[in-house]
């Protein structure tokens, strides 16, 4: 939402379907950096937290690719290897996080990410800095964790009714489905629609295609924009019977977000 006389507006928020740290997201990430005054004014921290329970090579790779990507874009960037709850509560990370103005969460397990961060000193700093104008971006699991609820994708993939778990609540009205074009093809649109129908009351489910982002820039309130290469689908209620599809460059009005 826009800032008020009581304080600044939150920073830009990016919900990315896939493609973090690749050339497909260059335009999106440059636009996010410009909200801070350009790459030279950015202090980026990349967080592979969602991959924290995978083999150690996985979060190490995400951290390395994030550093290489934002260095190539001209920004100062450091990794924060906050991989479990103990790390999220470790005060040694707080100075790094306090000094940053751009936080990027890469992919992995969204439920693990939310459980690791919720109520931790790490998340307290990031959420407060975002509210004061820092950029917050999440790809795949990161995007899912920023909403209000996270679906059990394993249940959906096996055709069972999806159950939904609490997320981090940056945009509590939204339920984010990344890799949406691939997901729809993989599990089938009928199964996908049954999953959408199980979303908590009042939720707005959005599907973000691969190599695509839904971005809310500072002070734009309910207005978002599609960036990247494909589309964003918005399911605005179980009675809709389908979704409204938005192309790259189009504005998306999501009331109350």
Q: pLDDT value at position 1?
A: 45
215, 31 in Cβ contact below 8 A?
Answer: yes
Residue 109 lies in a domain: yes
The residue to which tokens 């751009």 are assigned: 102
> Global pTM?
0.92
Residue 240 has pLDDT above 50, yes or no: no
- What is the number of domains present in the chain? 1
173 lies in a domain?
A: yes
> Given pLDDT bands bounded at 50, 70 and 90, which one contains residue 6?
low
Closest CA to 149 of 118, 191, 180, 182: 118
Q: Using the 8-state DSSP alphabet, how is residue 239 labeled?
A: G
4 in a structural domain? no
- pLDDT tens digits, 107-166: 999 999 999 999 999 999 999 999 999 999 999 999 999 999 998 766 655 655 567 889
Q: Above 70 in pLDDT, residue 5?
A: no
Q: What is the pLDDT of residue 239?
A: 47
HSE-CB of 187 using CA atoms within 13 angstroms: 23
Residue 3 lies in a domain: no
Asked whether residue 6 is assigned to any structural domain, the reply reads no
Q: Which residues contact 131 (CB under 8 A, 6 or more apart)?
A: 7, 8, 10
Of 19-33, 40-54, 236-250, the one with minimum mean pLDDT is 236-250
Q: Where are the beta strands (DSSP E) in the chain?
A: 13-16, 43-47, 76-79, 102-105, 135-139, 149-151, 164-166, 174-177, 204-208, 212-216, 223-228, 231-235, 244-247, 251-253
171, with CB counted inside 10 A (0-12, 13-18, 19+), is buried
In whole angstroms, what is the distance from residue 257 CA to residue 245 CA? 18
Quote the percentage of the chain above a pLDDT of 90.
Answer: 75
pLDDT for the residue 180:
92
Non-local (6+) Cβ contacts of 145 within 8 A are 50, 105, 110, 113, 114, 117, 138, 167, 168
Question: What local confidence, expressed as pLDDT, does residue 48 receive?
Answer: 98
Question: What CATH number does the domain containing 23 carry?
Answer: 3.40.50.880
Name the 3-class secondary structure at 154. helix
Q: Which domain holds residue 189?
A: 13-253
Q: Is it the case that residue 168 has pLDDT exceeding 90?
A: yes
> Is position 141 within any domain?
yes
- Specify which of 69-73, 181-185, 242-246 reaches the highest per-range mean pLDDT: 69-73
Residue 8 lies in a domain: no
Find the mean pLDDT for residues 191-203.
78
């Amino acid at each position: 939402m826009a800032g008020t006389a009581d304080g600044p507006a939150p920073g830009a928020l990016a919900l990315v379907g896939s493609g973090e740290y690749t050339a497909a997201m260059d335009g999106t990430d440059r636009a996010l950096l410009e909200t801070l005054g350009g790459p030279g004014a950015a202090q980026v921290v990349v967080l592979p937290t969602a991959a924290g329970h995978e083999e150690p090579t996985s979060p190490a790779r995400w951290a390395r690719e994030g550093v290489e990507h934002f260095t190539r874009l001209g920004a100062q960037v450091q990794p924060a290897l906050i991989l479990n709850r103990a790390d999220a509560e470790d005060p040694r990370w707080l100075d790094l996080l306090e000094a940053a103005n751009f936080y990027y969460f890469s992919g992995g397990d969204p439920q693990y990410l939310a459980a690791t961060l919720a109520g931790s000193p790490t998340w307290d700093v990031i959420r407060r800095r975002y509210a004061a104008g820092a950029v917050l971006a999440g790809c795949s699991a990161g995007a899912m964790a920023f909403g209000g609820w996270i679906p059990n994708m394993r249940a959906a993939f096996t055709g069972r009714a999806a159950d939904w778990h609490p997320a981090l609540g940056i945009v509590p009205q939204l339920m984010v489905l990344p890799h949406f074009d691939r997901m729809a093809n993989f599990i089938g649109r009928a199964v996908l629609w049954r999953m959408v129908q199980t979303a908590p009351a009042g939720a707005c489910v959005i599907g973000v295609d691969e190599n695509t982002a839904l971005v809310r820039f500072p002070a734009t309130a309910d207005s978002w924009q599609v960036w990247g290469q494909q589309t964003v689908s918005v399911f605005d209620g179980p009675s809709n019977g389908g979704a409204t599809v938005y192309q790259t460059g189009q504005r998306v009005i999501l009331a109350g977000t």
